[in-house]
Amino acid sequence: MPINRSWFDQRLRLGGLAVCAVVLATGCRREQVTHFRVEKGVEAVAASGPPGGSMGAGPPASPGMQGDVPAPPRPNAPLAWTLPKGWSQEVAGGMRYATLKPPASVPGRVDVSVVVLPGPAGGELANVNRWRGQIGLPPLGDGELAAARKMVRSPAGELALYDFTSEGEKKSRMVAALAEVDGSTWFLKLAGDAEPVGTVRPDFLKLLESIRRGTN
């Protein structure tokens, strides 16, 4: 039986068109799926934050750490003290009235500071809880303050003394005293690693006991 070539050619053309249509449709669907996945990937990167951006740069600097807070006025009636043997003193700027330095032979991290602020400076409880927060301890309530306080007598009057040690394997310690004198609040603070602070503490207490009215 002879083959009708026109009919056969027509069938081939129709079959080829159908195959092309299937290929094109499949390609379109694949392109759509790929595009969707790219969009999801972009959203995940944005949610995690840009590399090196603010989310990975650590917390912003606290107010007052960039030198934008002026130093408090000098007190009208300054205090004086006697430095223990081997100690030195520097007149500090900014919020500090002075920085006191134990002997260099004391190993470890130790910082001794003197700060004076006008008025009550926020009150005793607020300052004590600020100190505790600096070494990772929870705040005290009103009823717990008296039990934590010890009094130190000096020629300038009594100072309220607090001694706190942090928890954890590497301990920090803070020994801090405050006193209100002639309308100003004086803060004297010994802070650092627990062991060297314990070594320096007896000298620091002698310094507190020597505080008197006068000029440095």
In terms of Cβ atoms closer than 10 Å to its own Cβ (0-12, 13-18, 19+), residue 56 is exposed
Mean pLDDT of 191-198: 96
Tell me: do 15 and 52 sit in the same domain. yes
Q: Is the dihedral of CA 122, 92, 149, 191 positive or negative?
A: positive
Residues 54 and 115 in one domain: no
Domain that holds residue 138: 79-213
Highest mean pLDDT among 41-50, 53-62, 186-195, 207-216: 186-195
Domain count, the chain: 2
Query: Does residue 41 fall inside a structural domain?
Result: yes
Q: Please check whether residues 56 and 95 belong to one and the same domain.
A: no
pLDDT at 10: 52
Helix (H, G, I), strand (E, B) or coil at 97: coil
Clarify whether residues 36 and 122 are in a common domain: no
Distance CA 203, CA 122 (A): 28
The domain spanning residue 166 has which CATH number? 3.40.1000.10
Average pLDDT over residues 133-139: 95
Cα distance between residue 149 and residue 204, in whole Å: 16
Residues ≥6 apart with Cβ < 8 Å to 120: 180, 185
In a domain, 71, yes or no: no
Q: Is the pLDDT of residue 205 over 70?
A: yes
* The domain boundary residue, chosen from 63, 88, 116: 63
pTM metric for this prediction = 0.65
Q: Are residues 34 and 117 in the same domain?
A: no
Q: Are residues 54 and 107 in the same domain?
A: no
Tell whether 191 and 108 lie within a shared domain: yes
Residue 72 lies in a domain: no
